[in-house]
Each structure stands twice: as structure tokens, then as C-alpha cells.
Amino acid sequence: MDFEKIPQNSRTIIFEKFNDKEGMPNLCTLLKGRTSEEAVEVVNEKLLVHSFSEFKEKFEPTVYERINVNADGNLQSISYSLNSDDGGNPVSLCNHEFYKAVHDIIETKSNSGKSNEDSRYNKLYDALNPENIYNRARRQRVEAKEFLFNAMKEKENKNPSGVKKWLRLAQETFNDVKSEYSGSALRLLPLAITDMQQVVNSRTGGKAPKAIETGAENTEALPLYTLKWDGNGALKPVKEKETAVVALEMKEDSNTKLVTAQWEKIADSIPEGNVDKNLFMSIYSEQKNMALQTVPTDELKQRIDVMAKMYDHAQQSFFDAIGYLVQKVAGIEQFFRHAGDENGEVKAGVIIANCNIDDVLYSDESENAVKNFFKRVNTSENERIWFAVLPSASVENNDWKPESVDNEMPDIENMDLFSMDEETDDEKRSDVPVYSVGEINRVTNLLKDCGILSFFNFCPCEKTGFTQFEEKTFEQYTKESKAIDSKDSVVLAFPNFTVIPKNKSGFESVSGDTLYVPTVYIDAAYIAAGITVATQTSKIQQKKNSSNSIIKNNPFVHFDLEKKENSRKFFANFNPECRLNMSSELQNFVLGDKMGGFCFQSDTLVKQAFILSARTLDNRPLYQYITKNYLDFMVEREQIKLESEAKSFEKGIKNMQNQSGNDEKVNPILMSDEIFEFSKEEESFSLRFKGREEPMILKTKIKENV
């Protein structure tokens, strides 16, 4: 039997919203008013991606920054939202220092094998340190001046190639600054604060020249003393003999005018409402920057205090807005890391629905359109969807909800310990869509009808990670999962993985207060689904197994992830959080008849987390559902309509079973002692796997027309 004519396709759909700006495609809007053929074409064009890079390019995970100014055009506040309808300037999440730091932490943790307590979070705090932003700006403002000065010298020397060279470098610097501040006004604040603080320090820190050591209260700027940019762009005191050149009386040479004019052009080109242009010019224009020295010291101190508080408030607003989005984007990145080949590519492709499941469930039009779309693609060899990743489920009246961090620092000295309010489950991030188990159940029923295997987990939080897993946790999972009807086609994945735990989320702000970054977890469903997709990919299997252990041209539908050698080949590329050293009793409980799901395990002997069980909620190994689905698909594609054709198909499968050594191969269609047969009474095929008495009935009915 030629299995190449019906290739296994590990295409996956992921239900999550990543960007809601106008014009951004999502599954529900794309399907509306289209025929099934048109829908398949437009979904493949708009929603299908093959790598994390393609995902970022197509869906642009974004947070929206809104600045508020007063009547004079001066900055009043900065706030953030994930909702594009709130207005504001789009800031690319994946290009932001915070997401880059999260990525770096994941990479470090995945290779270290250390627990959260032993992991270092310096990269996170360094990324958020405004000093790094200031150092970059300081370099840029000096470079722009030097590059244009060198261009003017080359012009005097009548060297056109030299002029072009320096102008090109200057242009790159100006464009870098424009790109950075078109993306976020927030970064301007630490620059202004640092410049003002340097002026104040020069007057009050005891290191200033004698010109300001008058003994009088330094509340006014002193005309005999000034600061200049040094060669690195930092403000530093001018020596006494140089004080003839004062900021406001400095010679207006052509280079200074030219640089100032270019900075004004950059400020004018930044979209209205994105940045405080007065603030921008005071930082990047040398003339405007020098004007700080005319401001009295007390006023500068007041400005520093106001801006520091504004910066802290804006930073916290940013963190509060992005928490959920960071978590989901990191989950997508981990899916591709586990599902993709050495280049991070998933050949079969991944459909990013870019909509929430309630967009599907609470509109009859959308639900019917999605059903029809699935039915259409699932008749195609190359476009069939095999797997789905769903949002996490929350459970009422317990702690399995998205976490929020309490940003208010208790007043310990004046606290009445006996009148403290108890924490409530209502403390959750306001932008987090929360789904009940009942809603997850509704969408899994829809997916089951289309032969799609669904992965989900309970809300990733401290309670559902590795560190707090014990038998009662598994029992709670089993209890909550009873509400899922389609247990043979649904996979509960656990525990979730921790990137930034609650006790590592605080850091000192510019004002000396504590800011809190969002806690970040990775949904176990993303990693479990990614690993499962990888097992179905011929290129990946060939890399992990010797050629003599693979049956040529066979799909990998019967690949058992619970076999020890297989679970070690397809482990999780993630920090195992070494505390989950399961006792034999707990392992037996997970692998027993009461528990079903995709369970990760870790111990002190293995660097990464590995797979203990890979089962659906009815406690069947995943390969049984995938194999049944594949054979059902083959029956449909063979267009079997007669009993004689059914018997011939059954014989072909049995011949495959009888091939010598199949049970030692990693990809048999069926093991030698497993039963595949046609039942005239059922008008369908049945599958009986090793260790399971009840057979699985294929959905395709074969009723011979007389």
C-alpha cells in the first residue's frame, strides 16, 4: 500500500489574538461571506505561517503607547494598552528590550537545567535599566555632530566620495533615533532626567569648578559656569579658562546650525502625538541642551522628581499592559522551537487564528463558517488540520487564574496585621481573556467533529507550575477535566513552565521605588503540541533516528512518545525546574487509569524536562487517536464505497503488519498484535490497540448501495 499518496501533514491551528488593529486579519472575519474554496485560499494567504520570524512579520504583536500633553505641548503622562481602539502609537513587542530579555532568559534557562531559585535575572533588570538607553543616546548625539563636521571638512577638501561617506553615516544615526522615538516616547524620560541630574550634580556635588563655589544658595544658574558635551556625549563641567564660551553665547558655527536643523527635521517627522518635541530637542540639540543651565537648581530638582514619577508610572503601565501578550508570544516562539526543524520551520505550516474562541462560540454565523472551513480543509491531503492549541482554562473559586502583582508596597510600620484584607481571586490582569472549562469544552466538541486533536492547559500561574505539583494537584486536574466531553480528542498538558516567577518580578526604578514586571509562564500546551507536531515530521524523525529503524514512506502516526527512548529524543527544550522529582507512587498515579494528559517530568539527572505521559483525557496514548484519524482519512480519500473494497483495504493494512521487524521500527502503521478490521454491522472499520479492550470506531460509514 502506497502511503506517499496521502502524506501525514502536521498542520496546526492556534486560537489566540495577537493584534487587533484595523485591517489585521483574523479567522472569523476572513471566513465571513466566503465560499469554502475561497476561505481556504484566503486563510492560507493571510493566516498561515511556517516560522516564528514569519509570525512576527505577519502579525506584528503590538502594544499601543499614548502620550498626553498640556496646552503648551509639554509631556504630561504616558500610558499603554493592547487595544488599538484606545488610540496611540504602535510599539513592536518583539523589538522591545523587555521581550528580548524574556527571550534571553528562556534561552539561558533551557540550557542550564537550573531551578527558578538558581536562575539569574540580571539580563532582565539590565534591559530595563534606563542608563543603557541614555548611553546609546549620548553616543548618537555626538556621532551626528562628528559625522556632519567630517562631511563639511571633506567638502572643503573637495572630496565628494568622503562627503557621501560621512553623510551616509550621519543619515543612519538620524534614522536610528527617529525609529527609536517613533516607536516609544517613554525612552525620552530617562535621557532628560540624566541630563538634568548632571547639571544639578555639577552645582551641588562638590566637584564643580570654583566659579560656582560662592557659598550662596545655588538656586539660580550661574553665568560664569557651564557644561558641555564631552567626546562621549555626556555633560561635563567646562574648565575655568574655557568659560568664555557660555551655552547661550556660544558661537553659532555652521556645523552646530546644521546639526540642530537636522534634529528639528527628525522631531517634525515623528508622527504627531507620539513624542514631546520640546523634550526631544532639549536632549538631542546641543543648543537646547545647554539651555538647561539657565534653569534654577530647585526647578531642575522639581523637574527631575516629576519626570521620574512619570517614568515609573509609564513603565508600570507598560508592564501591566503587555503581560498576557508577552506570555502568548513567548508560547508561540516555544511552539516553533519544538515543532520546527533545525531552521525553526514547520513545513506543514501553522494557522494563527488571531481571534479569541468567544469570537467563534458566541456568533452562530462565525461558528458555522469555522465548521464549514474545517470540513473543507480536512478533505485535502496538504491542507488538512491535525492539531489545535487552545487558550488556557480558568477555574472559578480557586487559584488557577492569571496572576497579577500587587504594586502597592505595604506600610509595615503602621500596619494592623489583624485587619488586613484577604487576597481575592479577582486580582487578575484586566486585559487577560479568561475562559471557563465549559467554553473550552464547546470549542473542543467543534474540533472533534472535524478530526482535530486539541491541546489546552489550565491557566499558567504559580499554582500550576512544576514547583507545586503533587498528587492532590493531579486529582484536581482530573476533577476539573470531567467537564470535557470529547475526552478521546482532547489533551490536557501540564505542568506549565515558569520564565519570570512572582518573587523575581520586582526591581528598583529611577525614583528608587519598586516596579513590577509581569510574571511570565509558558503554556504547557504550546510545548506539548510542538513536540507532537515534530514527531510527525519526516525530516526531524530522520535526524533523530537511524535509517534502519524507520520504515521508508510510512508516516509516523504510530510513534509512541511514552517509550523512554522516544521521550528522551523529543524532550522539552526548557528549564525543568528541578523540584518536580516525582515519587514512584505519583508516577503510577499519573500513568494509572484515573489520570489522562500530556505530563512533563523532571529530575536532577536530566537537564531538560521530559515526557512522562502523552495521552488524551480518556487515557489513550496520543498515537492511538492520530493513527485512527489517519486511517479514517485514508478510507475517505480512497473513496471506499463497497464491502469488497473495504475488505481489500483491510487486507492491505494487515499485510503491512506482517512485514518482518515492524514492531522494532519507530513508524509502523500498526503493531503485529493490534487489530484493524471491517465490521459489516458497524458499517465501518474498528481499531483495537494493544492494552485496550474497547475498539476505536472510524467515523467513515461504508454502506454498500444495492
Q: Which residues contact 493 (CB under 8 A, 6 or more apart)?
A: 455, 456, 457, 523, 524, 525, 527, 528, 529, 597, 598, 599, 600
Task: Quote the pLDDT of residue 639.
Answer: 86
> Are the C-beta atoms of residues 665 and 550 closer than 8 Å to each other?
yes
Would you state the pLDDT for residue 290? Answer: 75
What pLDDT, on a 0 to 100 scale, did the predictor assign at position 406?
56
What is the reported pLDDT for 249? Answer: 40
Share of the chain above pLDDT 90, in %: 33
Residue 425's contacts (CB-CB under 8 Å, 6 or more residues apart) are 396, 397, 398, 399, 401
Looking at residue 461, its pLDDT comes to 87
Q: What is the pLDDT of residues 116-147, one digit of tens each?
A: 555 667 777 777 777 777 787 888 888 888 89
Q: Which residues contact 401 (CB under 8 A, 6 or more apart)?
A: 394, 395, 425, 428, 434, 459, 461
Answer whether residue 77 shows pLDDT above 50: yes
More confident residue, 509 or 561: 561
Q: Are 455 and 391 in contact (CB under 8 A)?
A: no
Residue type for 642, please?
A: L
- Cα→Cα distances 41→19, 48, 239, 351, 466, Å: 22, 10, 71, 12, 42
Report d(CA 527, CA 481) in Å as an integer: 20
Q: Tell me, letter by letter, the H, E, C secondary structure of 186-234.
A: CCHHHHHHHHHHHHHHHHHCCCCCHHHCCCCCCCCCCCCCCEEECCCCC
- Rg over alpha carbons for the chain, rounded to the nearest Å, is 31
Are 337 and 391 spatial neighbours (Cβ–Cβ below 8 Å)? no
Q: Of 394, 341, 645, whose CA–CA distance to 637 is shortest?
A: 645
- Taking the C-alpha atoms of residue 481 and residue 461, their distance in angstroms, rounded to an integer, is 18
Note the pTM of the prediction, 2 decimals: 0.84
- Please report, to the nearest 10 degrees, the dihedral formed by the alpha carbons of residues 292, 296, 131, 76 taken in order: -90
Q: Are 85 and 22 in contact (CB under 8 A)?
A: no
**Model confidence band, residue 558 (pLDDT cutoffs 50, 70, 90):** very high
pLDDT of residue 119: 60
Angle subtended at Cα 79 by Cα 77 and Cα 84, rounded to the nearest 5 degrees: 135
Residue pair 294/496 in contact (Cβ under 8 Å)? The answer is: no
In the chain, domain spans: 3-59+312-411+429-624, 129-295, 641-697
Q: Which of 199-213, 222-236, 388-402, 513-527 has the highest mean pLDDT?
A: 513-527
Residue 429: φ, ψ to 5° = -65, 130
Q: If pLDDT is split at 50, 70 and 90, which confidence band does 7 have?
A: low
Residues 6 or more apart whose Cβ sits within 8 Å of residue 3: 553, 554, 555, 669
* Residue-wise pLDDT tens digits, 641-674: 888 999 999 998 888 887 766 788 898 989 988 9
d(CA 543, CA 547): 9
Whole-angstrom distance, CA of residue 422 vs CA of residue 404: 15
Predicted pLDDT at 231? 78
> What pLDDT is attached to residue 239?
60
- Residue 320's pLDDT band (boundaries 50, 70, 90)? confident
**Cα(687)–Cα(674) distance, integer angstroms:** 8
Q: What's the chain's average pLDDT?
A: 82
Residues 630 and 8: beta-carbon distance below 8 Å: yes
HSE of 260, CA atoms in CB hemisphere, 13 A:
14
pLDDT score at 90: 84
